[in-house]
């Protein structure tokens, strides 16, 4: 399941964003699993958080600006949310493949197109637990329109993706390992903190 919240803030504060994400996770596990309190969180070898007492409950948190999102599921997953903003060409060259850069150049809103690719890559590395140990330019995404809607294809097999624009300012991407993302995972549960 996906849970999202927004909160008021007068300044960018990583601590405030992180606290909102953790509070959102607490609400989500209570709603989905009936946990009265947030279980103890530990970190795996490369820093991916998990519940040692409930290893079959997978979760991931992301935040940007005044928004936080968390994903819960029964398989490894990763979620990322980012505000649409311009990025320097050097960053594009560092994290995108040649075909992704060509796709980007065809888009009228290159900032939005880049954030789409960035959130997909971030959701993938968060799902694998490898983080930035994985060179982002080694993962390639293709986003194309089909008769059934949009299709997102990754060069890494065994991972499935879903993406949604949040308002006019942000993109959210979800990655799940091993199975297609079910429809119920595509519903955003809004929580007011």
Dist CA 152 CA 150 (whole Å): 7
Over the chain, what is the mean pLDDT? 93
Give the per-residue pLDDT at 134.
87
Confidence of residue 182 (pLDDT cuts 50, 70, 90): very high
> 144-178, pLDDT tens digit by residue?
988 888 899 999 999 999 999 999 999 999 999 99
| pLDDT tops 70 at residue 12 | no
- 193 pLDDT more than 90: no
Residue 51 has pLDDT above 80, yes or no: yes
Q: Quick one: angle between helices 110-128 and 98-105, nearest 10?
A: 150
> Strand (E) positions, the chain?
2-6, 42-43, 49-50, 58-64, 67-73, 77-83, 141-146, 149-154, 159-166, 170-177, 188-190
pLDDT of res. 107: 95
- Structural domains of the chain, with CATH: 2-190 (3.90.470.20)
Given strand 2-6, what is the order of strands in its sheet? 58-64, 67-73, 2-6, 188-190
Q: Dump pLDDT digits (tens) for 96-146.
A: 999 999 999 999 999 999 999 999 999 999 999 987 778 999 999 999 988
Q: What DSSP line would sit under 88-114, residue for residue?
A: -HHHHHHHS-HHHHHHHHT-S-HHHHH
Percent of the chain with pLDDT over 90: 83
């Amino acid at each position: 399941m996906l849970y999202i919240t927004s909160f008021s803030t007068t300044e960018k504060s990583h601590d405030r964003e992180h606290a909102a994400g953790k509070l959102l996770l607490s609400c989500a596990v209570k709603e989905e699993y009936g946990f009265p309190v947030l279980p103890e969180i530990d970190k795996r070898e490369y820093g991916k958080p998990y519940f040692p007492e409930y290893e079959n409950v997978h979760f991931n948190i992301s935040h940007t600006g005044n928004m936080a999102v968390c994903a819960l599921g029964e398989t490894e997953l990763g979620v990322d949310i980012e505000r649409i903003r311009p990025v320097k060409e050097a960053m594009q060259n560092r994290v995108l493949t040649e075909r992704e850069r060509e796709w980007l150049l065809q888009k009228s809103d290159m900032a939005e197109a880049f954030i789409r690719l960035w959130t997909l890559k971030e959701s993938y590395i968060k799902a694998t637990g490898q983080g930035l140990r994985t060179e982002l330019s080694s993962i390639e995404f293709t986003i194309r329109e089909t008769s059934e809607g949009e299709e997102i294809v990754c060069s890494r097999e065994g991972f499935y993706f879903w993406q949604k624009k949040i308002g006019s300012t942000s993109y959210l991407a979800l990655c799940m390992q091993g199975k297609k993302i079910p429809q119920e995972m595509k519903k955003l549960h809004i929580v007011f903190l």
